[in-house]
Every structure is written in C-alpha cells, then in structure tokens.
A and B are shown apart, each in its own frame.
Chain A
Amino acid sequence: MEPRIGVYVCHCGSNIAGTVDVEEVSRFAGELESVKVARDYKFMCSEPGQNMIKDDIRELGLNRVVVASCSPTLHEPTFRRVCQESGINPYLFQMANIREQCSWVTEDHDGATVKAKALVGAAVNRVYYHEPLDVRQVSINPNTLVVGGGIAGIQAALEIADAGHKVYLVERTPSIGGHMAQLDKTFPTLDCSACILTPKMTLVSRHPNIELLTYSEVEDVSGYIGSFKVKIRKKARYVDTAKCNGCTECEKACPVEVPSEFNLGLSKRKAIYRPFHQAVPNIVTIDKRGAPPCRTACPAGVDAQGYVALISKGKYGEALDVFRRTQPFAGVCGRICTHPCEADCERGKVDQPVAIRYLKRFMADYELKAGRGKARKVDLISKHKVAVIGSGPAGLACAYDLIRLGYPVTVFEAAPEAGGLMRYAIPEYRLPRKILDNEISFIRELGVEIRTNSRVDSFKEVFDKGYKVIFMGVGAGISQKMGIPNEDMDGVLHALDFLRKVRMGEDVKVGKRVAVIGGGNAAVDAARTAVRLGAEEVTMVYRRSRAEMPALNAEIEEGLHEGVKIHALAGPVAVLEEDGKISGIRCIRMELGEPDESKRRRPMPIKGSEFDIPLDNVIIAVGQLVDKTSLTRDLEYTSFGTVSVDPTTFQTNIDGVFAGGDVISGPDDVISAIEAGKEAAISIDHYLKGIDLKEGRPVRPERVKDVPREHIEKKIRKIMPLLELDRRKDFAEVETGFTEAMAMEEAQRCLNCGVCSECWECVSSCERGAIDHNQKDEIVEASVGNIIVATGYEIFKPQGIYEYGYGRFDNVLTALEFERMVNSAGPTEGHVYLKDGSQPKSIAIIHCVGSRDKNCHEYCSRVCCMYSLKLGHLAREHIPGVEVYEFYIDVRAFGKGFEEFYNRIIREGTTFIEARPGGVTDVAETPQEQGKLMVLYEEETGHNERRRLPVDMVILSTAIEPQPDVKSISRLFNINQSADGFFLERHPKLDPIATATDGVFVIGCCQGPKDIPDTVAQASAAAAEVLSLIGQGNIEIEAATAFIDEKICSGCQICRIVCPYSAIEFIEEKGVCRVNEVLCKGCGACVGGCFSNSICLKHFTGEQLVAEMENMLA
C-alpha cells in the first residue's frame, strides 16, 4: 500500500510556537514526499487535536502519522492509541520531539526552526518505512515483591495482601518497622509512633497472603513486568524460627555486648538479640560477622573471643570449656605461647591488643585454685586403637582430639614423666609443674592412657600390638653442636641437657661466670636458670643484634632485669682451655650483611676482631636437631634433617604413620606443635574411616573484614604483675597472674570482632533447642509480576560537619539519638541525661544539618523542621523548665496541621532564632560559659553581629540521605537515580511512583525525603497500581523484538554470544538461529553483531534508522 502520511505540528501553547516557527515547519512538511496533509495546532494532545488526526485518517485515507510535539515518553502512547482507534496499526506512527530537544533548549528561533524541520523531515522519512507490528501481550503474575519493611513496605504489602494477592515482603534487618519504629512521637499530631505502627507490623506477620522474609536480601532480579524472577538470600539467623518464641533467655546468657543499632549505639545489645521489644517477627537472631582475628591467627584455631567474652562476665569455668573445645593446654599456653592472636588483635589498632594470653592463663589458674571436678571419661565408640609416640604438645593434642572422637588412644613416652619439652625444657619459674600436671591429668581422665618410661624402638612392635595407626611426635631433642674447638670438654653444657637436668631435680652446678650462646627462648631460659643456680655473671652471646633475637621480648627483658647481659654481634670461634679446664671462649665480632632465607640480616665476621671472654661455664643453645633413632630409621627426611610429611595430612612415607611437632618442623613453638597434632588427628580419623585424607577437612573460618572502631574509649592494657627481684632466687613463678578484677576488666577491652563469639552459652540457655550454630544461608526463589521498592533512607552522618562537634563533644546529639532518649522504651527509659548524668537546663536544636547545604546535600529533607519542633516540645515535656532554642533558616510548615503545630510550639515558649550557626565550641570566654557548649551564630535579622549562646545540649537535625548502597539497589532493580541520589520516578508530577522499568515502583524515602503521611499515600498508590495491573491480567509490551531472516543466516551463532537474555536458539536441523520472541527484550545488540546482516530489530531496522538520518540533513 502506498504510504499516505499526515503530519501534525503542535504549538504546545507557546512552549514550541514561542521558539519554533510552527507554520513554517508545517508548510515544509506538507511539501515532503508522500505527505498528504500537514497541519499545526495549539495542543495536539487535546481532544480536538486528537480528533483532527482521526478525521484526516478517515477523510484523506491516511495510513501513516507523524506528530511533532513533546517527547515520545509523554505522548507516544496517546497518539498510538489515536491511530489504533482509527484503524491504523499503532506502529505506523512516529513522533518528532521538537519541544524537550528543540524549542526548550535554544533561544535561537531560526536555529530551532531549522532543527524542527530536520526532525520532522527525518520522522516522515522514517515512518515511510515503518511496518505494522503485532502488539505483544504478557500475563501478569499476581504475586508481588515488596522490598523494604519500613512503613512504606508494610502499607503496600498489607493493601495488596488484603486484596487477596500474595506478597513477598523482604527486609534486610531482623525486624520490620524501619525508621518509624525508632521514633517516639509523630508530628504534628504527636501520636505515639509505636502505637500506630506495631498493630500494622503484627498484621503483616499474621497475614496469610504475606510471606515475610526478614534478615533477607534480594540478590538477583531477572525478567520483566508480569513475570519477574527474583532470588532472595535468607541470611542464616542461627535460630530455628519455628522453635524460637522470643523469650530472650539466650540474650541473658550471651556474654557479648555490642552497640545496639536500634538505639544508635546509646545502649548495648547482645550478639544474640531481638532488635527491640515489639520486633516482628518476635524471634532472636545471632549476629555472626566472621571469625575474629584472634581465632584465625591462632595456628590451632582457638576461639579466643569466646573465652575472653565469658571471662568478661565472670564465667571462668564456661570460658575454659570453650578453650578446651580446641585444645587442653590453657595453663601452658597461657604462659609460654608466642600468642600470634595478640599480634592480629583489632584492639591493637585502637590502643593495645587485649592480653589474650594472660586471660587464658587466668582461667586455667582460677580452675586450679577453685578445684576441678574430675573430667568425664569419653565413651570409646571405635574399636581402632591409636598409638601416640611422644607426649609433647603435638602428641598430647593429637591424643586429646582422637579420644574425643571416640578412639582408644595410648601414649608411649620414653621419659619418666609426660609433657615432653613442656616439662623438661621450660623452667619452673615460667611454667610450674602443677600447671602441666593438671592439664595432663585432665587428658588422662578423658581416657587417654599414657605409658611413661616406655621407649618405642620400631613401628612394627606397635602395629604388632594391634594399633591401627601411629602418631609420632618425638620432638627434636638433640642440642645442635657449633663445630668449634673444645666444644665437648667439661664445663661446656648444652641447653636442653642443662634445662632437663635442672627440671628433673638433679644437682646441677654452675660457676661464677657463665656464657650462653644463642638468642632463642632456650638460650634465655638457660641464662635465667643459670642466674637462679647462683651464677654471678651471665652473658648471652648472640651473633646478630638484639633486635633479631628470636626469643620472646618480655622474657629477654626479664632476663636483663635479673642481671643477664647480652653480648650481641659476637660469634664464638673456640672454647679456651687452661689446665684441662675451661677458661673462657674466644669470639669474633660480627656485622650484619644482607638478609638471608629467614629474612634476618646475615651476620658477617669482622676479620681480626677476635676477643676472649673469661668463663667458668658455657651453655650452648644454638638449635635442636631431630634424633635419628632406630624408630625413625625408615622414614623419609627433608634436607633440614626433619621427618618429611605431607603438609596437609601430616602423613609420613610409611602407611599408617603420621608425624607432627618439632620432629617435622625443627624447633618451633608449642602452639604450632598443637596445630600439627590436631591436623594429624583429623587425618587419622579419616584414615580409620577409610575416607580421603584431604577431602572434607574442616575449612578454616574466614577472618572478619571490617571491625567498627567508632565510640571506643582508649583503655590501657593490664600489665602482668611480676615477682619482686629479690624473691627470684629460687624457681618461683615470675609472672604472678591477673587478679579476678584485672581479668574481667581486661576482658572487657575486647572489641568482639566477630560479634558472636561462638561460646555456645545460648545453646544451653534455650529450653526449646532453637539455636543452631551450623545454619546456612538459604536462597528463596520467587516469581512475581510487580516489584515495589521501599528501601528507605539513611541518616546523614554529622561527623562530616566538623564545626558542629558531633563525635567531639559529649552532649552534641543527632535528632534520632535524642528521639531514642525521650522514648520510654529507649536506652534511658525516657530520661534525658547529659553525659555526666545530670539533666540539661537548655537545649539548642540546629536545623538543616546536611540539608540545604551545597557542601552536603542541596535538597531540603522536608521533615527536619517539623521533627525539630516536635523534639522541642518533647524536651519541654520530659525536662520541666528546660529552655529550647531552635536555630532555623526557614520554618517549612507546609503540611496539613503543620502551621498550627508551629504556632503551638511558639506559644509553648520555644525561642526561635533565624540563623545557621557557624559552629559549636566548648571553649568558655566567660565564667557563665564554663562547662557549656556555645552555639556560634550571626542572627540574620539583627545587625550581623557575632553571638554566642551557651547551652547544655545541642541537637542536630540531620538530613535524610539515600541508603549507602543505593547504587547497587538501583542496578539490581534497573531504576535510575536522580542527581540527589534518590530513585528517579518516571515523571515527577504525573507518574511519581513508577520507574523507567515497567512493573517496578518506588515508594517512600528511597524516592526522596518525605514524611509518614506522604509515604503511606505513595505506598497505597503503588498498591493501587499493582492491583490495577493484576486486575488487567495482561499487559501490552513493546513489539519491537529482533527477527532473524533464516534464508540469510549463516548459523555462526555470534548473536547467541551477544544476547544477554539467551533469547536466541540455534536450530540444529536448519543450521540457523531463531529469536525467541518471548525472551527477547528488543535491545538490538545482536544486530550489530551479525556478520551476515540477517538480523533486524523490528521498529528499529537499519533501513528505518538510516532513512531517519538521511532526512535530518535536508
């Protein structure tokens, strides 16, 4: 059919005609090819305008229409409908945008007219090539997703649900209620916020049509209006929601306290918590943020936060139980551990790390003092016997874990007593015998059999006795030699032998002058032991500098304190003898060169710098080696002389033999040996169960990422009390331990990085057995037809305005903080207190903090004026006789009843000062100002003189701002943001809750600041829109989809890679691609990717677009 085109140029009053010569454009259009009629009219969108088109279609037989007017976003649907009503396919219509993109953007009349002509000419040429398209219909899924459980989401959900349709209401915090639940009263009527909100919250929880998903977040949205698919992550609450009845007994049991979000940090909540009394659902949630750094830093994975939290509450026994979940040596590790936990402690970033090791020691000592009940013998559920050779920390840790898994374990120890180096190398003054005895007997009581004086010479003899598996932790018990002359003569001692003999009570004598060679812990132990044995002059000779000494610094310090001297940068070259007796050592001075493999700088001898030290004894402590005995003969060794094992499984080359501790690592600390023993225990368990040793091993939990460091008062770490010097003559313990008060206070310094400390106190407190620490996140998939986004807002953080002193001065609060204070269920139960506990006599309220401020937010937050007036009223109500000053720029009392409320507040006696204060200071200039906060301002109406107003409390009326993650929310739901960051509605006046994405609506403060009545009105409006769509059942959607001409398609399938919706299928038998019209969204990306030019995007074909372009130049 030959195209017969009608062109209609709209004046839009003077909006277009004021700039564009519309008659000229119309005349020009009339002369274009195929144009049968061209007219201009004042308002084309009006009834007469529409009728004009209809009449022409009928009378002139038009079959294509062009309207040059406003943006197609506004009236394209209008004119398409006009066409349709006149029997023309709505796609045989084109619109030229000569208002938004022409008359409104220039003042140049000629230029605008030329441009309008170009746009009209282009539209005419384009419509010439238009083809009729079928309008597609999609059905509307009657389910709706509401995101955000504030008053907006609650209202919308209830209205849709009441109409009989299913609603998924998703809220990311543990309870619905949003900010409204935090408010005390609502302006201007002053009704109680909770009283009007909580009934609605309860309705939501009971509504059969509402599926309430709290502590959940929408993760993915796909599809389009009518049929969205959403994935919702239900975060693990670690509580069985069906069993929990909100009794909150667990809250009482939980030892962890963190700032309450609901009370804005003005009070504390527990790690297991219900955010507020009327929370819906009325259940608790455990806040787990990840593993605390102390736990991830510990090689054995001891849950330090757990026992520290319990110590802070005086639950020492429970604390020790938490420790013993991982390993048995609290008293030992509390004394000699190298405490990597403290090195990573987040508290260290504030002031100093928590004294974790001393706290550990405290609870072990406490038990010893209070007396311990006998440990319950473990039921041995396995028949497989395990042998452990060596009773050092590795062997005993392995035995401890295996017995608790139910394996019968026998430990073989060559020495007369168990404990390995813990017993025979660490001096009594560091680790008293009774501590070790207690912990070893605890292991024995569990059922581990420890056979002392039982040397094992071969694995075979053990296997022959019926043991299925062997763990070998025989240590590295041979002192390393130095290879210098006279090393073996009398008077030269080796540290391990020396310490062992002393420990075993042998009569060891040392001379007056003793030198210890080496800088490790054994060297320091030997030196300090020598002091105790009566040596008068003890010198440590170390080849690097003091800073490189590997011994614990506190130990070195104490050694120095006790009189030990350090001769650093000296290396012994020979032991000197005189008359067959030792007379001294010859050393050479060293200097430090480049770092070696241990990353320490390598000592280099300085030629000719030898010097002699006269001595009576030398103790060599330069290292320990693994003893190659008949037992270890068949094992593979590393090049360092240690036994070679698989680094994950701790398995040796001999089947059924595992090894750990110093025997595989060389001399290392106790906690690493315990780690090896524990890891080997896992392998042995797998081995005996016949499952893969590497697979299914417990995964180390991930370290918590961000630990908030706000509002933390600096507090000095408790110092370990030490024995006075003159009492250190015998081997009495030097560190005397924390008192109970010290321990509790120190434990309270913990920042509770992981929040939940996994102490499991809640588990035992819950009578209903509702706690499940192993719960996992769940993904809920839902199909919905429409989505209502009600994600709310965040309060502006006034730290950004330094001069107002928030965070610097105690009595500067935000409005919401004050709101919580006056709330009778709030942190102060409705009393307003200054930091010192007294009541304020005067309060200044500063309006527009963060709003109407080019440095923060340019917009007005719309609620602050009224809530400030409300707070003024509440202040007077709660504090009799208080003076209230409101600092305002303008008082915007624009809503229903607002002006009346404003007048009421004025009558009540609040003082209004028209000024934006320049700052708040605590620097007093007069005696009257002493101890007050001075608001600095210049009154607008006065003589611009600077004034100071001393008050007791300053309240900042902070702005409303978009959620911090607004960007990702906007991407998730495909919503645009306006320049202020809030979500962009489709039209600011006529489509205020719809968005550019059909089927997605925005309501409440996520769209822009607004008060509760406006929010509720929007929520109802969104419900009405959704219900209207559900009522229609079907909706027309864009017909512009891609189409593949199968005759030309080469079957290369590149389009399938390009398509983001997987809407293109490959038809195997024809070797061509085909578009699935239901899935195609009409983006057209595939067209540009098609090599054979066989794809066209309907209504946006190359022909049409090029035709449009061609006539633009005319």
Chain B
Amino acid sequence: MRQKIGDQPRIVGFLCKWCSYAGADLAGTSRKKYPSNLTVLKVPCSGRIDPLFVLKGLRLGFDGVLVSGCHPGDCHYQTGNYRARRRIVITKKFLEYLGIPEERIQASWVSAAEGTKFARVVADVVENVRAIGPNNLFNNEG
C-alpha cells in the first residue's frame, strides 16, 4: 500500500467543497496546468479536517498534506475555516515536537473564483514539499 510512484513528492489535499474544491474545478475548466503530485479529498468544510487526518496521511507515506478552505470570513459554515486555522497551528506545533518538519502541512485559502491561484498554490506546495525531501518517517516499520 505504501509504494511510492517515482521519486516525486506525493501530496494529499483536503479541500472544502464550497470554495477550494470549486476553485480546483475552475482551474481545470480554465485549463490551468499544475503538477500531478496532488490528489484531492473533498470535505464539506475545512472545519471537518481532523488533525488526525494529517498525521494519518503522513503515516501512510504522503510527503505532504495540503489543507485548503474558504478565505477567512467567507466560510460557508460561518466559522469552520477559523477552526481549521487554529487546528493547523496546533498540528504544526505537534509535528515540530515529533521532529517532523512543519512544512509537511501546507495551508492556503482559495475561493471558488481563484482557479489561477489554486494552480499556483499546488505548484508552490509541491515545490515546498520537494525541498524538504521525501517522507521516510515510517519506512523502517515492519
């Protein structure tokens, strides 16, 4: 299950369905190009993103996790993205405590109208994660 494809960084993205997922769709509709390293999970709101998903993703062998929701203040569910923002901060601290580079979590706010921004975010995230190298944390497990 943890087989890596090539030496590219593999990144899993959690996108809220109202803004970022729609933004990702818009990137496609406008034929913006971005690296294929990211595969996306759709969640109703960035507030649904459990810090455990991030840890689980890294545990599974993803090199990075992207969390993306509506711009602060624009949450479809009023405050979900504020929750997400706090949880990301805490999770980053936790990763740091575990000795994992905090860059393995990447967060951004992308609206439904920001297809171009989404493409740029993906390119940046891939670049940032590539810079810290592959996630070998759990390679030695039996």
Nearest Cβ in chain A — how far from B80, in angstroms?
5
Question: In whole angstroms, what is the CA distance A1085 to B82 when docked?
Answer: 10
**Cβ proximity bits B28-50 to A, threshold 8 Å, 1 near / 0 not:** 11011111100111111101111
Check if A1060 sits within 8 Å of B5, measured CB to CB: no
Check if B49 sits within 8 Å of A1113, measured CB to CB: no
Flag whether B114 is at the interface (Cβ < 8 A): yes
Flag whether B139 is at the interface (Cβ < 8 A): no
Kindly list chain B residues whose C-beta atoms are within 8 Å of the C-beta of A108.
Answer: 36
Check if A1085 sits within 8 Å of B80, measured CB to CB: yes
26 sample A-B contacts, Cβ–Cβ < 8 Å, listed by A number? A71-B28, A101-B24, A101-B27, A101-B28, A102-B28, A104-B28, A104-B31, A105-B28, A106-B34, A119-B39, A119-B40, A976-B74, A1060-B80, A1081-B77, A1088-B87, A1097-B44, A1097-B48, A1100-B44, A1109-B41, A1109-B56, A1109-B57, A1109-B62, A1110-B60, A1113-B1, A1113-B61, A1114-B3
Flag whether B105 is at the interface (Cβ < 8 A): no
- Nearest A-chain residue to B15, judged by Cβ: A101
Within 8 A of B (CB), among A97-141: 97, 99-102, 104-108, 111-112, 114-115, 118-119, 122
**Cβ proximity bits A966-995 to B, threshold 8 Å, 1 near / 0 not:** 000011001011110000100000000000
Check if B48 sits within 8 Å of A1085, measured CB to CB: yes
Flag whether B121 is at the interface (Cβ < 8 A): no
Question: In whole angstroms, what is the CA distance A886 to B81 when docked?
Answer: 50
Kindly list chain A residues whose C-beta atoms are within 8 Å of the C-beta of B66.
Answer: none
Q: A979-B114, A1085-B79, A1102-B52 are in contact. Are A114 and B5 (CB under 8 A)?
A: yes
Ranked 4 nearest A-B pairs via Cβ: A100-B28, A1084-B48, A1085-B47, A1083-B77
Question: In whole angstroms, what is the CA distance A766 to B37 when docked?
Answer: 74
Find B53's partner among A99, A997, A1106 (CB 8 Å cutoff): A1106
Question: In whole angstroms, what is the CA distance A927 to B31 when docked?
Answer: 57
Within 8 A of A (CB), among B117-132: 119
Kindly list chain A residues whose C-beta atoms are within 8 Å of the C-beta of B1.
Answer: 1110-1111, 1113-1114
Nearest Cβ in chain A — how far from B45, in angstroms?
4
Flag whether A290 is at the interface (Cβ < 8 A): no
Nearest Cβ in chain A — how far from B85, in angstroms?
12
Kindly list chain A residues whose C-beta atoms are within 8 Å of the C-beta of B34.
Answer: 105-106
The interface centre, meaning the residue of B10, B21, B34 with most chain A CB atoms within 10 A of its CB, is: B21
Kindly list chain A residues whose C-beta atoms are within 8 Å of the C-beta of B27.
Answer: 100-101, 105
Kindly list chain A residues whose C-beta atoms are within 8 Å of the C-beta of B119.
Answer: 105
Flag whether A1112 is at the interface (Cβ < 8 A): yes
Kindly list chain B residues whose C-beta atoms are within 8 Å of the C-beta of A97.
Answer: 25, 40
Check if B113 sits within 8 Å of A72, measured CB to CB: no
Kindly list chain B residues whose C-beta atoms are within 8 Å of the C-beta of A105.
Answer: 27-28, 31-34, 36, 119
Kindly list chain B residues whose C-beta atoms are within 8 Å of the C-beta of A997.
Answer: 76
Find A1058's partner among B4, B10, B21, B83 (CB 8 Å cutoff): B83
Check if A106 sits within 8 Å of B48, measured CB to CB: no
Find A99's partner among B28, B40, B60, B78 (CB 8 Å cutoff): B28
Kindly list chain B residues whose C-beta atoms are within 8 Å of the C-beta of A605.
Answer: none
Check if A971 sits within 8 Å of B74, measured CB to CB: yes
Kindly list chain A residues whose C-beta atoms are within 8 Å of the C-beta of B79.
Answer: 1060, 1085
Q: A1084-B48, A1085-B80 are in contact. Are A118 and B112 (CB under 8 A)?
A: no
Check if B83 sits within 8 Å of A1088, measured CB to CB: yes
Check if B62 sits within 8 Å of A1113, measured CB to CB: yes
Flag whether A73 is at the interface (Cβ < 8 A): yes
**Cβ proximity bits B62-92 to A, threshold 8 Å, 1 near / 0 not:** 1000000000011011111001000100000
Q: A119-B39, A978-B113, A1082-B44 are in contact. Are A1102 and B25 (CB under 8 A)?
A: no
Flag whether B109 is at the interface (Cβ < 8 A): no
Question: In whole angstroms, what is the CA distance A398 to B60 when docked?
Answer: 82
How many residues of chain B have a CB within 8 Å of chain A? 55
**Cβ proximity bits A995-1023 to B, threshold 8 Å, 1 near / 0 not:** 01100000000000000000000000000
Q: A976-B111, A1082-B44, A1088-B87 are in contact. Are A1112 and B36 (CB under 8 A)?
A: no
Check if B47 sits within 8 Å of A1112, measured CB to CB: no
Check if A996 sits within 8 Å of B18, measured CB to CB: yes
Flag whether A1089 is at the interface (Cβ < 8 A): yes
- Nearest B-chain residue to A970, judged by Cβ: B74
Within 8 A of B (CB), among A62-102: 71-73, 97, 99-102
- Nearest B-chain residue to A119, judged by Cβ: B39
Check if A977 sits within 8 Å of B111, measured CB to CB: yes
Flag whether A860 is at the interface (Cβ < 8 A): no
Kindly list chain A residues whose C-beta atoms are within 8 Å of the C-beta of B60.
Answer: 1109-1110, 1113
Flag whether A525 is at the interface (Cβ < 8 A): no
Check if B10 sits within 8 Å of A1083, measured CB to CB: no
Check if A114 sits within 8 Å of B48, measured CB to CB: no
Check if A979 sits within 8 Å of B5, measured CB to CB: no
Check if B39 sits within 8 Å of A118, measured CB to CB: yes
Kindly list chain A residues whose C-beta atoms are within 8 Å of the C-beta of B10.
Answer: 1112-1113
Kindly list chain A residues whose C-beta atoms are within 8 Å of the C-beta of B57.
Answer: 1109
Flag whether A1087 is at the interface (Cβ < 8 A): yes
The interface centre, meaning the residue of A118, A1060, A1087 with most chain B CB atoms within 10 A of its CB, is: A1060
- Nearest A-chain residue to B11, judged by Cβ: A1112
Kindly list chain B residues whose C-beta atoms are within 8 Å of the C-beta of A346.
Answer: none
Kindly list chain B residues whose C-beta atoms are within 8 Å of the C-beta of A1114.
Answer: 1, 3
Check if B49 sits within 8 Å of A984, measured CB to CB: no
Flag whether B22 is at the interface (Cβ < 8 A): yes
Check if A100 sits within 8 Å of B48, measured CB to CB: no
Question: In whole angstroms, what is the CA distance A1100 to B113 when docked?
Answer: 25
Q: A1088-B83, A1109-B12 are in contact. Are A1100 and B40 (CB under 8 A)?
A: no
Question: In whole angstroms, what is the CA distance A101 to B37 when docked?
Answer: 11
Question: In whole angstroms, what is the CA distance A115 to B12 when docked?
Answer: 11
Question: In whole angstroms, what is the CA distance A420 to B71 when docked?
Answer: 66
Flag whether B19 is at the interface (Cβ < 8 A): yes
Find B48's partner among A115, A118, A978, A1083 (CB 8 Å cutoff): A1083
- Nearest A-chain residue to B49, judged by Cβ: A1088
Flag whether B101 is at the interface (Cβ < 8 A): no
Kindly list chain B residues whose C-beta atoms are within 8 Å of the C-beta of A1106.
Answer: 53, 56
